[in-house]
A = this chain, B = another copy of it.
Amino acid sequence: MANVKATIPKGTRDFGPTVMVRRNYIFDTIKKVFGKYGYQEIQTPTMENLETLTGKYGDEGDQLIFKVLNSGDYMLKAQGLKLSAEENTSKKLLPLISEKALRYDLTVPFARYVVMHQNEITSPFKRFQIQPVWRADRPQKGRYREFYQCDADVVGSDSLLNEAEFICIYDEALSNLGLKDFTIKVNNRKILSGIAGLIGKPDKIVDMTVAIDKLDKIGLDGVEKELLEKGFENKDLAILKPIILLSGNNEEKLNSLNSILETSVIGQKGIEEIKKTFSYLANFTLQKAKIELDLTLARGLNYYTGCIFEVKTNEAAMGSIGGGGRYDDLTGMFGKEGLTGVGISFGADRIYDVLEELNLFPSTVMEGTKILICVFGEAEENYALPLLNRLRSANIKAELFPFGAKMKKQMQYANEKDIPFVAVIGGDEMQSGLLSLKNMASGEQVKITVDGLIKKMLA
């Protein structure tokens, strides 16, 4: 067996012990909040049938799906295939040699799950799912080919209570993670449709929102320029301008919109939805979140049909750390029409970076082994074993460094693993029955009985 260089595929990551406990801390914190609001965890397989995924993410998305080669003699089915140099060999061959692919997101597998298990699930079905997904994107800083998504969705309920509760979930989870200043932006697809209808260009809603969305970056002049390039006219701009520049608090914005969209049935419906969501929300105690109606918010526009959410932290320079919205036909692609749902997603990798930057990981998160027992030789090891047993019986995380290593190496081990206490056992300690206990943070060293030690570790 030839030696192989120890590397991993580009765009993928190993998670070492420190990163793992921090990631688990984030996921556990979010999971707990999901659970508090009645959301239940599910998991779907890493591989889905290729036809389940194909066509769901656009042509570009299809390209980015990792396909899995059929097992065994995968070229068997392709033997009859005649290929000429001009043909797109890869494309023609694909369905013959691959039937499975790695999941690209959690939404399509969830839709597939809902239809496949429709007779078992409780409706409204509130599920959350935290699993990796894979995309053959070009890797770059902060963009990986394997990354975790963290989604919660409810399907089968059109109540806007769900929307309000998702805002509460964002608030509670992110506040529990220690964030102190973040904004949950809210918009509604129906309002955007109303605006596009108002200027008589309902089919241009995407161009319109894409341009408006850039207000922060390119300013009003830039937005107007882009709109004109996309086929909007000066009379359209006259209508759009006050909407783009809408200011004030949420109530003031809604009032202005109400006048602007007075004649738009769909626009009024969107305003109603936002108002109802906010009125639900008024009953709930929010911790740190600011709620902002933002008409430039348009994520996943060809997908969402009602409220749209996006979360941004105001404490660090970072894109969105979460988003979601309501959709009216999640499962139509699998033959079950008209199932409405709403869902949100947490951007776990970005939240990790924010917590790290703001130094928000609590030190208790890292608490592994509490005490390391260091011994000089075999006799000391024998002396130490009953102590080790007593510590563990008292449910204290304890390790004994096997005898034979130099004390320096043992101390280094404690340091590297962030073990707060080290008990050293040598000849003196065996004779006196008093252990030397070192506090690794302060450097303080005390002599202590075994009973005293156990008491101290349990304190």
Contacts and interface: CB of A to CB of B under 8 A. Distances in A.
Interface string A28-68: 00000001111011111111110110011000000110111
Interface size class of A (residues with CB under 8 A): 35 or more
B9 A47 contact: yes
Contacts of A159: 402-404
A403 B280 CA distance: 13
A120 B362 CA distance: 23
B46 A134 contact: yes
Interface string A1-39: 111111111001111110011001000000000011110
A76 B15 CA distance: 33
Interface string A248-283: 000000000000000000000000000000001001
Nearest to A64: B71
A366 B395 CA distance: 25
Contacts of A189: none
A119 to B, nearest CB: 12
A345 to B, nearest CB: 19
Contacts of A14: 42-45, 113, 116-117
A7 B73 CA distance: 24
Interface string A405-417: 0000000010011
B68 A389 contact: no
A102 interface: yes
Interface of A: 1-9, 12-17, 20-21, 24, 35-38, 40-49, 51-52, 55-56, 63-64, 66-69, 71-76, 79, 85, 88-90, 93-94, 97-100, 102, 112-113, 115-117, 120-124, 127, 132, 134, 136, 145-146, 157, 159, 161-162, 168, 280, 283-285, 333-335, 368-369, 381, 385-386, 388-389, 392-393, 395, 397-400, 402-404, 413, 416-417
8 contacts: A7-B52, A12-B45, A15-B42, A46-B146, A69-B97, A159-B403, A283-B386, A284-B388
